[in-house]
Amino acid sequence: MSGAAPRFTVLLPTHDRADVLGFAVQSVLAQTEPDFELLVVADGCTDRTAEVLAGFPDPRLRVFDLPKAPHFGYANRNVALREARGRLVAFAAHDDLLLPDHLARMGALLDGTRAAWGYSRPAWVSTDGVIVPFGVNLGFPDEMQAFRERRNTIPAACIVHTRRALEAAGFWPEDVPSAADWVLWRRMLEASGGRAAHLPVPTTLHFSAGWKRSRHAGSEDVRRLVAIADSAAWWPAILRHPPDGEPEQARLWSALETGGAAWVEALRDALDAVLARIGWASVHPPGPGDEPTLAALERLAAEHDAALTRLAAEHGSALARLAADRNAAVAARDGAVAALAALHASTSWRITAPLRAAARLFGRG
């Protein structure tokens, strides 16, 4: 391919999500940072994916139409990435949206910090259009430890890394059935000495994957945040976008297109306000007007107590089973000892004593 190498490569893998893919592609092509190539990896698509992509005659878009690869198609991602020309690599999911300044802000973050790997603050969207903030910060040692050892807390679309970091990490692992992004991020962090650049500003909207069949993407953390939104009268209206017979991505893309930069800033302000309200409610005695937040927090506390009660009951049952097994074993042992003692005290045992002695004598001979 001729021409100067672009600043960014944006990787967008997809498999049979023609219903929302177009919104994801539009959100990439609408970036305020224009210096990028968009590599769409069609992983064995059998729906209208090709037709949707044909509707974007942008020279920055390149499609890799490949047969289905194992698992989530990680091998096909590597096919495209080995032809990537950008110095920085971003990720776009086929069912997520990038806010217009995502590439510009993340590029400035990595260039300004000279980091090889960085991420923005996640913003999750429930299947009924509720947007919740997620305040992950890997700068805290305990959060970094949890990220490395327990679970992934950052959607892939939030992350941008250098091409050099990708090569050092060995590209996407192709032999894992799921969560290859988490494996790759940890490899990159290891290669860079654990350094992660953090942008505490939402630059993407992350939606629940259709295959998870979950309002809150199967995340307990997101479920708790959505529960607060359900009960809080103060929850900002800009963070509620119930779809009306259409995918939630369509509803949010329409709001983004209509509202423009002012809408994006209002969205970010609202997400910051939610984090502040939750923090306030967690340490401040409730007062007039605090009932919705208090009710949500009390419900979460009740769920926690119920879980502890259930675990205590299960623990008690396990201990009771162990005690019963132990008592049965002791009873069996005592019965065997008693039977042996009774045998030794019996008349037949005394009568046959000379025979046993003779057998022992001849046995030694």
* Alpha carbon distance 196, 119 (integer Å): 8
* Alpha carbon distance 281, 94 (integer Å): 36
User: In terms of DSSP bridges, do strands 123-125 and 131-133 run parallel, antiparallel, or are they unpaired?
Assistant: antiparallel
pLDDT of residue 9: 98
Q: What are 124-163's pLDDT values in tens digits?
A: 999 999 999 998 999 999 999 999 999 999 999 999 999 9
- Asked whether residue 330 carries a pLDDT value surpassing 80, the answer given is no
> Which of 124-138, 177-191, 324-338 is least confident?
324-338
Q: What are phi and psi of 156, to 5 degrees?
A: -60, -35
Q: What are 212-271's pLDDT values in tens digits?
A: 889 998 899 999 999 999 988 899 999 999 999 999 999 999 999 999 999 999 999 999
Distance linking the first and last C-alpha atoms of the chain:
97
User: In terms of DSSP bridges, do strands 117-121 and 131-133 run parallel, antiparallel, or are they unpaired?
Assistant: unpaired
Average pLDDT over residues 17-29: 98
**Which residues, in sequence order, are bridge partners of residue 240?**
130
pLDDT of residue 97: 98
- The CA distances from residue 170 to 84, 130, 183, 219, 224, in Å, are 14, 37, 11, 29, 36
pLDDT of residue 356: 65
- Asked whether residue 346 carries a pLDDT value surpassing 80, the answer given is no
Q: What are 224-241's pLDDT values in tens digits?
A: 999 999 988 899 999 999
pLDDT of residue 334: 75
Q: Cα 138 vs. chain centroid, distance in angstroms?
A: 15
Q: From start to end of the chain, where are the E strands?
A: 8-14, 36-43, 61-66, 88-91, 97-98, 117-121, 123-125, 131-133, 159-162, 197-202, 204-207
Quick count: other Cβ atoms within 10 Å of Cβ 255? 15
Look-up: residue for tokens 């967008």? Answer: 12
Quick count: other Cβ atoms within 10 Å of Cβ 266? 14
Quick count: other Cβ atoms within 10 Å of Cβ 64? 17
Question: At how many degrees (to 10) do helices 248-283 and 291-345 cross?
Answer: 80
> Which of 5-19, 43-57, 343-357 is least confident?
343-357
**Of 318 and 58, the one with more pLDDT:** 58
* Side-chain-side CA neighbours of residue 26 (13 Å): 14
- The CA distances from residue 83 to 37, 64, 67, 93, in Å, are 11, 11, 18, 19
- Within 8 A by CB and 6+ apart from 330, the residues are none
- Asked whether residue 341 carries a pLDDT value surpassing 80, the answer given is no
**Mean of the per-residue pLDDT values of the chain:** 88
Question: DSSP letter at 246?
Answer: S
Dig out the tokens for 3 from the structure.
């021409």
pLDDT of residue 329: 72
pLDDT of residue 345: 73
